[in-house]
Structure formats: structure tokens, C-alpha cells
Amino acid sequence: MLTGKIKCGPYWSNIPGHTESAFCSFCKKTTGDDTLETEQHLWLTCEHNGQRQTWETTTNIWRKTTLRNWPAISLGLIKGLAAVTFNDDCNSDYEGLRILISMTLWAIWKSRNKNTINNQGVVPKETIEILKEMISNLIRNSWIATKFMEPTRRMIRQRKLRFLWGDGGFVDFDANPYPTINSS
């Protein structure tokens, strides 16, 4: 994604027999429009693929994990994500931002592929659920991995996980047997 090699829109325009793949399948199915599926359209402007609702969910998660303002999402931010840093970032907000943006893109991409390749209808709520499940799995698996660490290292890593995901009520780290995501 960061290298501009995502196979959407213009990529398919010059491949005989696949020119229809250049158009957004969500827009085609919903309105009949032949809208070129550019990265800008796919990640940020399509009104039919659930990206807007998914970004809103990501913003809400961010607000539960940090006091820092959520940045305006743009194609430039997405492509330059690996280089993002914050001044005075003692909370590892840059790490949380990278995780949330990457997972949001992956959730949108998975929904897009389900709709485009598998020809299965996708509603925005599905994309949001994919995102929440991926984040939940990441946190749970990161927590489980600490069980195999020596005690001092485990304590440090668990503290970092708590710090990364904040005390804003997004994660219940005291749930048994593993942390759970609060769905509200």
C-alpha cells in the first residue's frame, strides 16, 4: 500500500479482459456508476464501501486511548504512515496511530475484496466488525505472548500494552482470562 502498488483502478485499466475491475464494485452495484477505484476513492471518498463509518469508529477508538487529537486522514498521511512521529510522544501515540490506520485500511480492503472478488454484498457494519475483531485479536495475542516471557519482561510488556491502549475504557485488561474490547 505504501509503495503505490495497490491493485485497484488504474492498475486494471490496461489489462485486456480486466478493464471492468478498474471500477468501484460498491458504486457499480449501488448506483450503477462507473467510478474509477483509485486509492483516494477506496480509502477516503467512496460513499458505499463503509470507509466513512469505519474511519469514524477508528476515531472513536483513538479518543478512548489518548488525549491527542485524531489527525485529518489523507492519502498523504496514509502513504507516509511509516514516517509519522509526534513531538513529546511519551505515550507511544505514533505506534497506536500506525496500528489503527493500518488496521482500518486492512478492514476496508478485506470488505472491498469480499464485494469485488467474492461478489458478496458488504454493509458498512461488517467492515466495522472486521476492524474491531482485528484490533481485539491483536491485543489478545499480544497479551497472550507475554505469558511466555520471564516475569520482569512480562510485567514491562504488559505495562506497555496498557499504556498503548490507554485507560479510556476501550480495553478491559482485567477481564479473565484475557483482555477484552469494550464494544460501546
Q: What percent of the chain has pLDDT over 90?
A: 58
Predicted local distance difference test score (pLDDT) of residue 169: 74
Question: Three-state DSSP class for 88?
Answer: coil
Return d(Cα 117, Cα 183) in angstroms, integer: 30
Predicted local distance difference test score (pLDDT) of residue 163: 85
118 alpha-carbon distance from chain centroid:
21
Supply the Cα-derived Rg of the chain in whole angstroms.
Answer: 18
Backbone angles phi, psi at 89, to 5 degrees: -100, 70
Domain assignment present for residue 59? The answer is yes
- For 170, the grid coordinates are 476501550
Query: What is the overall mean pLDDT for the chain?
Result: 89
Q: To the nearest 10°, report the CA torsion of 147, 149, 155, 161.
A: -70
Count Cβ atoms within 10 A of the Cβ of residue 88 and give its class: 0-12 exposed, 13-18 middle, 19 or more buried.
exposed
For residue 72, give its domain range: 49-181
Domain assignment present for residue 26? The answer is no
Residue whose cell numbers read 510485567: 155
Q: What percent of the chain has pLDDT over 70?
A: 94
Return d(Cα 67, Cα 166) in angstroms, integer: 9
Q: Which amino acid is at 179?
A: P
- For 135, the grid coordinates are 484490533
Predicted local distance difference test score (pLDDT) of residue 178: 81
Predicted local distance difference test score (pLDDT) of residue 9: 87
How many domains does the chain fold into?
1
Predicted local distance difference test score (pLDDT) of residue 8: 87
- For 154, the grid coordinates are 512480562
Candidates 32, 42, 46; CA nearest to 12 is 42
The answer to whether residues 154 and 162 touch, using CB atoms and an 8 Å cutoff, is no
pLDDT under 50: residue ranges of the chain: none
Return d(Cα 77, Cα 73) in angstroms, integer: 6
Domain assignment present for residue 90? The answer is yes
Predicted local distance difference test score (pLDDT) of residue 94: 87
Domain assignment present for residue 20? The answer is no
| SS3 of the chain: helix, strand, coil, percent, to 5 | 60, 5, 40
Return d(Cα 167, Cα 164) in angstroms, integer: 9
Domain assignment present for residue 153? The answer is yes
